[in-house]
């Protein structure tokens, strides 16, 4: 039997350090700026109809505040946010609190480039990837274990009003007005296939970019043919939203993953927020 769940990944809202292009990493636990709260509000309104069954967030303040604002705008508020240290931003060691330009200069002096450069006391990309892999495998196993515990799985799958399980068509109805035709048609070839869970994850820019690379390189995630490689691997703006359908089978250790959209930020236009973002900025502006 194939189980499918929706995975929504969101970058936290803007902080003062983001605005001033200073590295935060894990050592600088900065709260959201006024703009950051507005961005989180807009993301919450965009996702207000989605009945999340699981919500995870980094335990750093900027992510926790973003997750709280998103859920405050959701029609289905009765859900606990799980704070997980595996969702923290990449650790940048001695570079934290300093300008991004300084990190780039350190990388150049070492004969390499960002983001592959690891400053003293920082995490390597492989270490970040291992955190991502561990968390994602945990979520997949959690979904499978919770589903298997249900005494009447087919009945539970369709009982959307009582327990939050949704169908793919439910997901489309909630987000249809925000998606173009190509995105809508790529959700799944069988729109009647049930989604057993809706998972929301709030994390960080560099972390999310490494997560996308893991999904592509290790799990062969599929994307719309209209997307270029640079679009797929560009960084996310603050409160950029990516959405995936994850298919699980007990006998297959690797899930099948289909990207519905990536780094979506049109929701910010509803509150007239100007996007000051470039792909290179998004890689490091954390």
Query: In the numeric block, which tokens belong to residue 131?
Result: 């955190």
Burial 169-192 (b: 16+ CB within 10 A, else e): bbbbebbeebbeeebeebbbeeee
CA-nearest of 209, 236, 233 to 223 is 233
Q: What is the pLDDT of residue 148?
A: 83
Give yes or no: 14 in active site. no
In tens, the pLDDT along 189-209 reads 334 358 999 999 999 999 999
* Mean pLDDT across the chain: 84
Q: What is the pLDDT of residue 194?
A: 85
Q: What is the pLDDT of residue 271?
A: 66
Q: What is the pLDDT of residue 183?
A: 37
Strands 241-249 and 2-11: antiparallel
d(CA 59, CA 65): 10
d(CA 276, CA 49): 28
d(CA 76, CA 59): 22
In tens, the pLDDT along 40-85 reads 999 999 999 999 999 999 999 999 999 999 999 998 878 999 999 9
Residue 241 half-sphere exposure toward CB, CA atoms < 13 A? 26
Give yes or no: 12 in active site. yes
Length of the chain: 286
Q: What is the pLDDT of residue 179?
A: 41
Query: In the numeric block, which tokens belong to residue 29?
Result: 């636990």
Low pLDDT (below 70) residues in the chain: 151-193, 271-286
Residues 6+ apart with CB under 8 A from 57: 63, 64, 66, 67, 81, 82, 83, 84, 87, 201, 202, 203
**What's CA 68's distance to the chain center, in Å?**
15
The one catalytic residue among 14, 41, 54, 89: 89
Residues in a beta bridge with 167: 194
d(CA 255, CA 75): 30
d(CA 138, CA 199): 12
Q: What is the pLDDT of residue 70?
A: 98
Residues 6+ apart with CB under 8 A from 269: none
The one catalytic residue among 12, 54, 265, 267: 12
């Amino acid at each position: 039997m194939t189980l499918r769940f929706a995975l929504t990944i969101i970058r936290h809202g803007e902080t003062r350090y983001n605005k001033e292009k200073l590295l935060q990493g894990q050592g600088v636990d900065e709260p959201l700026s006024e703009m950051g709260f507005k961005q989180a509000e807009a993301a919450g309104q965009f996702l207000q109809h989605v009945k999340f069954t699981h919500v995870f967030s980094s335990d750093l303040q900027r992510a926790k505040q973003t997750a709280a604002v998103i859920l405050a705008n959701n029609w289905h508020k009765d859900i606990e946010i799980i704070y997980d240290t595996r969702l923290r931003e990449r650790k940048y060691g001695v570079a934290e609190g300093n300008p991004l330009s300084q990190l780039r200069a350190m990388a150049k002096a070492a004969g390499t480039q960002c983001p592959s450069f690891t400053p003293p006391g920082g995490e390597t990309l492989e270490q970040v990837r291992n955190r991502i892999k561990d968390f994602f495998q945990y979520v997949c196993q959690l979904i499978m274990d919770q589903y298997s515990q249900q005494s009447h799985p087919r009945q539970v799958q369709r009982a959307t009003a009582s327990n939050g399980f949704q169908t793919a068509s439910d997901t489309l109805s909630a987000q249809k007005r925000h998606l173009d035709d190509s995105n809508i048609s790529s959700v799944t070839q069988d729109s009647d296939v049930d989604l057993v869970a809706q998972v929301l994850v709030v994390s960080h820019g560099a972390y999310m970019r490494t997560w996308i690379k893991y999904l592509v390189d290790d799990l062969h995630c599929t994307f719309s043919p209209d997307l270029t490689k640079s679009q797929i691997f560009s960084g996310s703006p603050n409160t950029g939203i990516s959405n995936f359908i994850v298919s699980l089978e007990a006998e297959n250790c690797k899930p099948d993953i289909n990207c519905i959209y990536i780094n979506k930020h049109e929701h910010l236009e509803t509150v007239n927020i100007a996007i000051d973002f470039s792909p290179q900025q998004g890689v490091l502006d954390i």
